[in-house]
Amino acid sequence: MENIDWENLGFGYIRTDCNVRTYWRDGKWEPLTVTGDENINMHMASTCLHYGQEAFEGLKAFRGADGKIRIFRADENAKRMIRSAQYLMMQAPDVDLFVEAVKKVVLANEKYIPPYGTGASLYIRPLLIGTGAQVGVKPADEYMFLVFVTPVGPYYKSGFKPIDVIIDRRHDRAAPHGTGHVKVGGNYAASLLSGDLGHSKGYPSVMYLDAKEKRYIDECGAANFYGIRDGAYITPKSSSVLPSITNMSLRTLAADMGLKVEERPVDVAELATFEEAGACGTAAVISPIGSVLDPEENKTYRYGTEAGPWSVKLYEALRGIQFGLREDTHGWNIVL
């Protein structure tokens, strides 16, 4: 194990001891195997390479204040992978197999879970790919399910500090009735150019609008968007928005705190009315939004240079549950 500077970790890949994998062959999943091999050996005609039969998940394990390991809402990630696989006509692991693989890989790499107090965590990446060889456009007859882990720090270097966002009306992340509602690699490939253009202008995140009308807020980079106004937590609902497990959790916590929760189409014009805004997802948890630039409308919406009070409360509540500082009243954690 290399000497890791836990408090200065970025969000990138660091090799750990092993990963866990299994194959779907002959109508069943094979037993889970643990390997130190970081490579995947596959046929050159595998459907994941040619026809995009690929889905993945992202979740985290935390070293709590009490020294225990907590894995956050793995069952919900399993359910989302199943939904992604069904849409792409893939064979997915059931919830029990998914959770078993996650627990096995976390325990096998326990020494890579960052110590409590560093602000870092162990990122868990389950991956499902079609490995059966096909030349015609049809589903594979063989699939691989793999889970690897790596210790990570904040997704944005600034940590829990407001980021500046730019609206991109020229590119679409996903289309209505397409794959925006499932977690597949093609959605992220479609965002690379737009993200790079945003970064080149000094914006760490890009906001996408709906592909049909360019009127409603879709996603904010690789994260869901939310706004706070008049005691309400407001977040987009659309067939092209990925149902974020972090957002799902924040909606529950917001309701617990007495906020009204609205999940509905959010007109881009509403940006002018929000008291606070943020992007939320597994990687960043919550990234408060300091400003949103709409270059084609020549408008900038500003929300402050510090995180708003409700964003702070939500962030502290969620992180408190993940690190064992607050009671897990909803039963979200797997405690090892």
Instruction: State the amino acid at position 50 in one-letter form.
Output: H
Instruction: State the amino acid at position 180 in one-letter form.
Output: G
Q: How far is it, in rounded angstroms, from Cα 23 to Cα 20?
A: 11
Q: How far is it, in rounded angstroms, from Cα 202 to Cα 164?
A: 8
Do strands 163-168 and 333-335 pair parallel, antiparallel, or not at all (unpaired)?
A: unpaired
Tokens at residue 160, please? 């829990």
Q: Are 130 and 139 in contact (CB under 8 A)?
A: yes
The one-character DSSP state at 91 is P
Tell me how far CA of residue 132 lies from CA of 38, 61, 91, 108, 128, in angstroms.
20, 32, 12, 29, 12
Task: Give, for 285, the enclosing helix (H) or strand (E).
Answer: strand 285-294
- Residue 44 — φ and ψ, nearest 5°? -65, -15
Closest CA to 241 of 200, 282, 286, 187: 187
Closest CA to 178 of 235, 242, 90: 242
- Catalytic residue (choose from 79, 103, 104, 183): 183
| 212 assigned to active site | no
Residues belonging to the active site: 183
